[in-house]
Amino acid sequence: MEVRLYGAGCSRCEKIDALVKQILSRHGLRVDYQYLTDLKEIARAGIFATPALVVAGDMVVSGRVPSEKDLEDFLLKAIDKAEGEKIY
């Protein structure tokens, strides 16, 4: 399962990167997670606002840093949807 964080390296992007790593670790989730900062890659993905978190091709967060609880809910629900099962 691919989880991608697109960001320009700003403090908001770094914060969400750290939160995503904590959430994935806390739940023991094994996913293909990448934090992508290359502007060409961001444009190629059709991202208009960063940070942008994409799970299995579906945008979960764009242009803001949600609370840790909201981010956890968004991330787990998106992974559930992509895998077709409840993981938490």
* Domain limits for position 46: 2-83
Into how many domains does the chain fold? Answer: 1
| Residue 31, domain member (yes or no) | yes
**CATH number of the domain residue 48 falls in:** 3.40.30.10
CB 88 within 8 A of CB 76: yes
Q: What is the pLDDT of residues 37-69, one digit of tens each?
A: 999 999 999 999 999 999 999 999 999 999 999
- State the amino acid at position 63 in one-letter form: G
User: What one-character DSSP code corresponds to residue 2?
Assistant: E
Give the separation between CA 19 and CA 37, rounded to whole angstroms.
Answer: 17
| Residue 7, domain member (yes or no) | yes
Enter the pTM of the model.
Answer: 0.89
Q: Per-residue pLDDT for 88 more than 90? A: no
CB atoms within 10 A of CB 18: 12
Give the separation between CA 29 and CA 21, rounded to whole angstroms.
Answer: 10
| Residue 88, domain member (yes or no) | no
